Amino acid sequence: IYHRGPDDEGYFVEHNVALGVRRLSIIDLFRGHQPIYNENGMILIIFNGEIYDFKELRINLEKRGHRFSTNTNTEVIVHLYEDFGFDCLKKLNGMFAFAIYDKTEDLLFIARDRLGIKPLHYCFDGKVLVFGSELKSLLQFPGLRREIDLKSLNKYLTFEYVPAPYTIYKDIYKLQPGHYLIFKNGRLLIKKYWNLSYKDKPIRSKGECIEKLRWYIDDSVRKRMISDVPLGTFLSGGIDSSLITAFMTRQSSQKVKTFSVSFDDKSFDESRYARQIASFLGTEHYEEN
């Protein structure tokens, strides 16, 4: 899975626990080597994703007495776990899949973000737990069966994908969005930590709805533009990518880089619209066929 993290790799092996990680460096490029530990080295984390409000969380944690050795969002999660345990998930705003090993409790804590933006697969045979971002990494584990699940195959042929928590293989599962997994004393426990809730609110006027939507998009784009590397956006020419690009252009102090793909099949090709939007917004546009 080199392609998921071409910038760095890290390992932790101790007794019956082995963790490995590939890193795509976005924040704190040179000090963000993983695993990252807490102050006394008894809690460590491997992490894939981004925490958008990590700076605010860090300020609060420093007020509680925590000391940081990096500027990464990864380290914030370690200290949140120290103070709040599994409830640390309620404080995270971002996309993530991570594993925390607590040496004191001899406990493995694995979690996935609310919408399942970051993938996480696992297999538990009653004794050994194996997990990873992609199926092919699990399939490298010695003795793991590569048996097609016929029920999952039927789901794939029906829906054109395999719904969670299943995968195309028997006994290999996806950790569902908004769930976490605890592995301790040879036992596996999976819990749900988030539900999409609907609140009854008075109907707003069209103008109020527009302003509220504008605020949410602006806030979301701003939080996702925190980076120590250059930023860009995929631009299809459709409404959603065009809108995101427009907000990026407003917030960026530099010319935004946009990227699009053109197709020879005119029924799929939207490159003309992407070029129009790029020209209108003044982006640095790149196109591939």
- From first to last of its 289 residues, the chain has per-residue pLDDT tens of 778 888 888 899 998 999 999 988 777 777 888 899 999 999 999 999 999 999 999 999 999 999 999 999 999 999 999 999 999 999 999 999 999 999 999 999 999 999 999 999 999 999 999 999 999 999 999 989 899 999 999 999 999 999 999 999 999 999 999 999 999 999 999 999 999 887 777 767 888 888 989 999 999 999 988 888 888 999 998 899 999 999 999 999 889 999 999 988 888 888 999 999 999 999 999 998 8
Q: How far apart (Å, rounded) are the C-alpha atoms in residues 218 and 212?
A: 10
CB atoms closer than 10 angstroms to residue 149: 17
Output the six-digit token pair for 157.
Answer: 């042929």
Output the six-digit token pair for 75.
Answer: 């380290």
Q: Classify domain 2-120+175-192 at the CATH topology level.
A: Glutamine Phosphoribosylpyrophosphate, subunit 1, domain 1 (3.60.20)
Q: How far apart (Å, rounded) are the C-alpha atoms in residues 217 and 207?
A: 16
Nearest to 175 by CA among 132, 136, 142: 132
Q: How far apart (Å, rounded) are the C-alpha atoms in residues 45 and 111?
A: 11
| pTM, full prediction | 0.89
Q: Which letter does DSSP use for residue 38 in this model? A: -
Residues of the chain with CATH 3.60.20.10: 2-120+175-192
Q: How far apart (Å, rounded) are the C-alpha atoms in residues 122 and 59?
A: 34
What single-letter amino acid sits at 69?
Answer: S
